[in-house]
Structure formats: C-alpha cells, structure tokens
C-alpha cells in the first residue's frame, strides 16, 4: 500500500511533504484509539530482539537516525512505529533556520537523498522542553552540534551548552562533527580538535551524578589513517561508542543523470549508495579495535538483509532514515521480522 501512496507523496517537494505527513500522524495519534491504530499497523511483534548496550536496554535494534525529528516534536508518535530508539537533532544551542530552500532532494533511481539542511532546528532548550512532556518511554538520543556562526575555535562551548540543556531528558548523546552541510564542521574530525572536544565533554559527564553514554558520529569518507585516529581517540577518551556513518560527499556510481546531480549541487548523499561504504567503515573499526567499540550503524539500511549485513560487520544497533522514506512506516516491523527469522 505504501508503494502506491509513495508515488503521490513523491510528487510534492520533500521537505514540505515531510511536515505535512508528520502533522497528519500527530492528528491520528491524538484521536481516540489513534495510538492503537498506528501500533496495529506498524509496531514490532517479533520477540527476542532486545539489546543491552552502554547500560541501556533497547526493545529492538532498529532505531530512527537523527535528522528526521530534529526538534523532538514527534517522539510519542514515532514510538508507535516500532522503533527501538529515536535520535533527535542535530540540535544546536541557538535556534537557526539552516540553509536556503530547496535543500532536500530525492534520487529515486538510486533510492537515495541529497540534503544540505544545515542543522535547521529550534534550539536545545526547545527540544528539551518537548522531551520533558513526552509520554513514551522509548530511548531517545540527543545528536548535538554547533551553530553555523560559531567558529571552530569556540565549538567546544556550543557542544557543552547542548550537553547541559539535554542532559536530563536524553538517554545518550551523539557528537556530530561529520555533517558536510555546516561550513568547516568536518575539520573538527581532525585528531587534536576532536580529542579536545571529546575530553571536555567526558569531563563534564564525569561531574554528573549519573553519566550518560556519549558517542561520536563519523563520516563515511575518512581514510584508514583517519579511522585509526578515531579508534585511538575513542579509546583514549573512553567514549561509549561510534555512530557509523553520516552522509557522504561522494557522487560515484549513481544512476541519476550527472546533469541532475550537478543541478542539485552540494549536500550529503544518503541511502543505497552509502551502504557499502558504511559497512566497510564499520568492519574496519570493529576489526581494528578488536570489537572493543560499540557501533550503531547507519547508511543504506532498507531491509532485514541490509541490517544483518551491518550487524555481521560488527554493529550492535542499526538506524534508518532514507530507508524509512522509501520503505514507509512499517520498516522497523519488517526489519525486525526478518532479523527474527
């Protein structure tokens, strides 16, 4: 049914239809028995898929990646779709509009998206306020970043502000230094600035009565030498784990015509074309860390087979985003059913 509906949805500009559909889901949820209707169609029925990772118990290993619910507006509704966890953000200390529209593009021939959203969000305080009101007990991760106008030399302060703002309402944190859509952000993945940032956040974490898991989200475009540095830094700073991977700046091997890609312009590519790259990064980190670093996999996960590939490569959990757009609201249910078999 969703494949028929998708043809209509894909006729509307991506960002516009996203907000329209999510408002519609919120309306359904608010109706008498609306929650039950959503769960009847989408909730995961497969048993025995629970996972325990960095002190948290996940009902199943399939989560929703950051970027879909940037401002924590739909946590309760998304919990009805069977996800084992939801990651909000990327959240910045101050609200910001992000890059100019249009900034989200579909590549149906490749089952992919290109986005250059630019961390558009309403700010950390607004997200925290919504999370305090949520009714669902689903695990929520807080993906945090810096504001566009904050120079890299002052980036640590932005991540600190987000950490404090979300600390009481997020179950884990993800440090995003790998988005290609904020100028110079990826420079923070270099060894020394990254080490400084993560050491600082872990110092703040140690001062809390209860420490929260902090993970690092990395790009799929890193060299093996850079991945070696990442492994060393994560182990040295005693980070809880890695999210692998973010979107890619590569445009290799696409079925979409080159002229269309050139017209779209800059942005991060996600979906099917990232699957192999993401899996290779996961496998490298898992092998070269001797399996000591927990990994949440993201990148090109559409089916149970895709998820299993990531788990076999060394991941403990998986996240979907582009797959959710192309496969529809029952994706978590379908992946979990496949994993159960």
- Binding residues are 66-70, 90, 115-119, 143, 176, 181, 217, 245-247, 271, 300, 321-322
**What tokens appear for 291 in the block?**
């399996």
Q: Which of the residues 178, 179, 278, 316 is marked catalytic?
A: 179
Residue 232: Cβ-neighbour burial (10 angstroms; 0-12, 13-18, 19+): middle
Backbone φ/ψ region at 253: left (φ over 0), alpha (ψ -120 to 50), beta: left
Q: What is the DSSP letter of 120?
A: -
> Do 335 and 310 touch, CB atoms closer than 8 A?
no
Which residues are annotated as part of the binding site for substrate? 70, 115-119, 176, 181, 246-247
Rounded distance, CA 164 to CA 152, Å? 19
Which residues are annotated as part of the binding site for FMN? 66-70, 90, 143, 176, 217, 245, 271, 300, 321-322
> What DSSP string describes 9-70?
HTTS-HHHHHHHHHHHHHHHHHSTTHHHHHHHHHS----S--EEETTEEESSSEEEPTTSST
**What tokens appear for 287 in the block?**
């092998």
Q: Tokens 């979300």 — which residue?
A: 166
> What DSSP string describes 233-299?
HHHHTT-SEEEE---B---TT-SS-HHHHHHH-S-EEEEGGGHHHHHHHHHHHHHHTTT-S-EEEES
Rounded distance, CA 285 to CA 265, Å? 31
Name the β-bridge partners of 105: 114
Q: Which residues contact 312 (CB under 8 A, 6 or more apart)?
A: none
Q: Chain centroid to CA 229: how far?
A: 22
- Residue 179 annotated to the active site: yes
> Which residues participate in catalysis according to the annotation?
179
């Amino acid at each position: 049914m969703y494949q028929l509906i998708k043809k209509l949805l894909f006729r509307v500009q991506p960002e516009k239809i996203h907000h329209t559909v999510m408002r519609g889901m919120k309306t359904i949820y608010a109706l008498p028995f609306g929650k039950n209707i959503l769960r009847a169609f989408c909730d995961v029925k497969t048993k025995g898929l629970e996972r325990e990772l960095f002190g948290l118990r996940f009902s199943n290993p399939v989560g929703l990646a950051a970027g879909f619910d940037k401002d924590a507006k739909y946590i309760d509704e998304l919990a009805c779709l069977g996800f084992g966890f939801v990651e909000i953000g990327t959240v910045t200390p101050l609200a910001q509009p992000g890059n100019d529209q249009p900034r989200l593009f579909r590549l149906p021939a490749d089952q992919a998206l290109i986005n250059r959203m630019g961390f558009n969000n309403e700010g950390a305080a607004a997200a925290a306020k919504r999370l305090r009101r949520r009714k669902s007990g689903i695990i929520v991760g807080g993906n945090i970043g810096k504001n566009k106008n904050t120079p890299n030399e002052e980036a640590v302060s932005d991540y600190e502000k987000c950490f404090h703002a979300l600390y009481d309402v997020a179950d884990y944190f993800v440090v995003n230094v790998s988005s290609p859509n904020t100028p110079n952000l990826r420079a923070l993945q270099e060894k020394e600035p990254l080490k400084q940032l993560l050491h600082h956040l872990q110092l703040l974490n140690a001062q809390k009565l209860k420490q929260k898991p902090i993970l690092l989200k990395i790009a799929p475009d890193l060299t093996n030498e850079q991945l070696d540095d990442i492994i060393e830094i994560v182990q040295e700073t005693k980070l809880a784990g890695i999210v692998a991977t973010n979107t890619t700046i590569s445009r290799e091997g696409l079925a979409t015509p080159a002229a269309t890609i050139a017209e779209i312009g800059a942005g991060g590519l996600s979906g099917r074309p990232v699957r192999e790259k993401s899996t290779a990064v996961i496998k490298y980190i898992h092998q070269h860390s001797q399996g000591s670093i927990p990994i949440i996999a993201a990148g090109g996960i559409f089916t149970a087979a895709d998820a299993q590939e990531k788990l076999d490569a060394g991941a403990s959990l998986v996240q979907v985003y582009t797959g959710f757009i192309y496969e529809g609201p029952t994706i978590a249910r379908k992946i979990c059913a496949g994993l159960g078999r």
